[in-house]
Amino acid sequence: MIGAVTLPGTRRSVGVARAFVREAAAGLPAVDDLVLVVSELVANAVTHTASGLAGGRVTVVLAAGDGLVRLEVADGGAAGGRPHVRDEAGAETGRGMRIVAALSARWGFRADGPRTVVWAEFPAPAPAARGRGGGGG
């Protein structure tokens, strides 16, 4: 595991989650995509689930292995419905999961007791490959 953080279920936590991922994933090629995706997933959690209710929490986990970085966001429980990509490409709102699908190699969700964990995976080079320079001589 690279790191994990549990935050209050408030809109302010979206920025805190972005900062956490930017620091934890520093040096990874997908860092900008990871930051954007965590922003969308935490915003969804605090807007559409029990995480956004008084006392609600949202947990962000970042892990690496097998050439992938996996981002997970666990909410406080569904408020009716499952994460999905909306069909309305021109809509002003509701495009978060479309962004997640476009930026990640794959994504999905699972139940964890009353909570829903939404995850997204991104390609990551092996640790030895990350440290190599590209200059040759």
Q: What is the CATH number of the domain that holds 10?
A: 3.30.565.10
Give the up-direction half-sphere exposure of residue 85: CA atoms within 13 A in the CB hemisphere: 12
Are the C-beta atoms of 107 and 101 separated by less than 8 Å?
yes
- 126 vs 25, higher pLDDT: 25
Distances (CA, A) of 25 to 17, 88, 109: 12, 32, 22
- 7 vs 126, higher pLDDT: 7
Residues in contact with 86: Cβ distance below 8 Å, sequence separation at least 6, in sequence order: 94, 95, 97, 98
Are the C-beta atoms of 106 and 118 separated by less than 8 Å?
no
Q: Which residue is associated with the tokens 């991104």?
A: 122
Find the largest Cα–Cα distance for the chain: 58
pTM of the model: 0.83
25 in a domain, yes or no? yes
Q: Specify the number of domains making up the chain.
A: 1
Domain containing 113 equals 3-123
39 in a domain, yes or no? yes
78 in a domain, yes or no? yes
131 in a domain, yes or no? no
Any alpha helices (H) in the chain, and if so which ranges? 12-24, 31-48, 96-103, 127-130
18 in a domain, yes or no? yes
Q: Residue 79 has what pLDDT?
A: 62
103 in a domain, yes or no? yes
Q: Residue 64 has what pLDDT?
A: 94
Give the lowest-confidence range in 7-21, 40-54, 83-97, 117-131. Answer: 83-97
130 in a domain, yes or no? no
89 in a domain, yes or no? yes
The average confidence (pLDDT) of the chain is: 86
